[in-house]
Amino acid sequence: MNIRTILFDLDGTLIDTNDLIIASFTHTISEYSDRSYSRDEILDFIGPPLRESLKKIDPERVEDMVETYRKHNIEHHQAYVKAYDGVPETIRQLKEAGYRMGIVTTKMKNTVQMGLEITGLDGLFETIITLDDVTNAKPHPEPIVKALQALDSKASETLMVGDNTHDIEAGHNAGTHTAGVAWTVKGREVLEQLKPDYMLNHMSELLEITGG
């Protein structure tokens, strides 16, 4: 396949924020829920937009929970967040080889920027589509379509890379090729059920796939 554009999810794909997200959910749950949640229950919250996940805890106090979650998340970003092995090097090589690259995420702009700066990925992507930029989040195709428009790219020449079912489904819905990452906290089997075109064991495998 002729890949000229690569779109990436952020959390769980390029940067490891899993422990931060779990800690922020745990902190929020301890303040707003009358019971504790297991790790597996919290893992189900990872991927969808924050409000959608928090609504399952207490639909009456979502906005208060969002504020509590984000405060904890921002305060602890520096301590938890790091790039996955090989990510900065691979992204730089792909950029030097001329690939168009963007990020499509369900995060808000401010925390996206924080994560990119902490991990040395800032300035490597031509477009970043966040939750602020769309009406419909992944798995709806809108975020990917917006990224393709910004990059003047075709879906048929694009690869969507992600760690969550929402990423693979969004790629399918937008007509792109898809790649799951084996380091997903959900377990690679969850992504394999959606039959992505590729399953990456290490980000550097993108260089083999693209010839970059």
**Catalytic annotation present for 122:** no
Helix, strand, coil percentages in the chain from 3-state DSSP, rounded to 5 = 50, 15, 40
* Catalytic entry in 9, 11, 16, 167: 9
Q: Which residues contact 167 (CB under 8 A, 6 or more apart)?
A: 9, 13, 104, 138, 139, 160, 161, 178, 180
The gap between the terminal CA atoms of the chain, to the nearest Å, is 13
Q: Is the dihedral of CA 113, 210, 174, 145 positive or negative?
A: positive
Q: Which residues contact 149 (CB under 8 A, 6 or more apart)?
A: none
Give CA separation, 171 vs 8, 66, 124, 196, in Å: 10, 28, 21, 9
Contact 54, 66 (CB under 8 A): yes
Distance CA 104, CA 69 (A): 21
Contact 146, 174 (CB under 8 A): no
Q: Which residues are identified as catalytic?
A: 9
